[in-house]
């Protein structure tokens, strides 16, 4: 095994990915498995395709059904992971949604839906994982999915609920990192820019055309370009990286 393989190896680790049925979650789950981790994919609708992709690549994976906004379901899923895998070392807290709608047109129900999934859902998963890691004496890594939208205001689309939720994720991450550092648990966030996923297929062409001049890289990112960042944050080699927000955005937030 080479030095780099050792540096970023996840062999012997159990990793949980929420919202891993497609898009970024699916790609990252496959990447974590290729780095040696056993994967547990948690979603509301199932993740059979992701599990098969990992198994076909020679990895180990299974899926569980749970709604990240329901505390009892989150706790039950974590209990199943311990019963089946014996431990949990890595969490990629990825489940999320976005509603592009002007604030005056958006309903309170839509605001609550975005906040419940993107912020409260990540909090419930992180809390359950943190409790488990502390009880088991595991020095784990929790990676919360944030967004560059937690640091900037996107244009020309308006999405106050999404932006607020991701800003909340970034500061929640810092708060948990400071609180749990004493247990050897690291909590960091990942803030992608515009990424080409199945979800972006439904994005109106006029929005994409407006984004491109604002991105110094002049393109959207590929989901695969997030895998290395997640593996770095998950691996023991990033042991002193804690409370950080890793931005992967083609230099968008530099302007």
Q: Which one of the listed residues 13, 141, 149, 162 is annotated catalytic?
A: 162
| H/E element, 27 | helix 23-34
Q: At a CB cut-off of 8 Å and minimum separation 6, what does 254 contact? A: 216
Question: Per-residue DSSP letters for 181-241?
Answer: GGGT-EEEEEEE-SB--GGGGGS-HHHHHHHGGG-TTSSPBPGGGGHHHHHHHHSGGGTT-
162 is catalytic: yes
Alpha carbons 165 and 149: distance in angstroms, whole number? 9
Burial of 88 (0-12, 13-18, 19+ CB in 10 A): buried
What Cα–Cα distance (Å) separates residue 166 from each residue in 24, 50, 64, 196?
A: 16, 25, 25, 19
Q: Which one of the listed residues 147, 149, 161, 191 is annotated catalytic?
A: 147
3-class secondary structure, 93 = strand
3-class secondary structure, 106 = coil
11 is catalytic: no
Q: Which one of the listed residues 161, 166, 238, 252 is annotated catalytic?
A: 166
43 is catalytic: no
3-class secondary structure, 179 = helix
Q: At a CB cut-off of 8 Å and minimum separation 6, what does 70 contact? A: none
CB 184 within 8 A of CB 215: no
Q: Which residues are designated catalytic?
A: 147, 162, 166
């Amino acid at each position: 095994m080479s030095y780099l393989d050792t540096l970023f190896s996840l062999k012997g680790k159990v990793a949980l990915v929420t919202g891993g049925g497609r898009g970024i979650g699916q790609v990252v789950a496959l990447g974590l498995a290729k780095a040696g981790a056993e994967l547990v994919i948690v979603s509301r609708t199932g993740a059979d395709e992701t599990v098969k992709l990992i198994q076909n690549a020679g990895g180990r994976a299974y899926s569980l059904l749970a709604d990240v906004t329901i505390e009892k379901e989150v706790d039950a899923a974590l209990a199943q992971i311990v019963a089946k895998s014996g431990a949990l070392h890595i969490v990629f807290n990825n489940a999320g949604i976005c509603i592009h709608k002007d604030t005056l047109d958006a309903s309170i129900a839509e605001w609550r839906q975005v906040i419940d999934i993107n912020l409260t859902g990540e909090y419930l998963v992180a809390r359950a994982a943190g409790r488990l890691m502390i009880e088991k004496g595991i020095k784990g890594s929790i990676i919360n999915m944030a967004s560059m939208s937690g640091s900037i205001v996107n244009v020309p689309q308006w999405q106050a609920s999404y932006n607020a939720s991701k800003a909340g994720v970034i500061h929640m991450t810092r708060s948990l990192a400071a609180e749990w550092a004493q247990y050897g648990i690291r909590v960091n966030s990942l803030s992608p820019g515009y990424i080409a996923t199945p979800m972006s297929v439904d994005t109106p062409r006029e929005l994409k055309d407006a984004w491109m001049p604002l991105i110094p890289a002049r393109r959207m990112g590929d989901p695969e370009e997030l895998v290395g960042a997640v593996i770095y944050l998950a691996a023991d080699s990033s042991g002193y990286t804690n409370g950080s927000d890793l931005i992967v955005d083609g230099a968008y937030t530099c302007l």
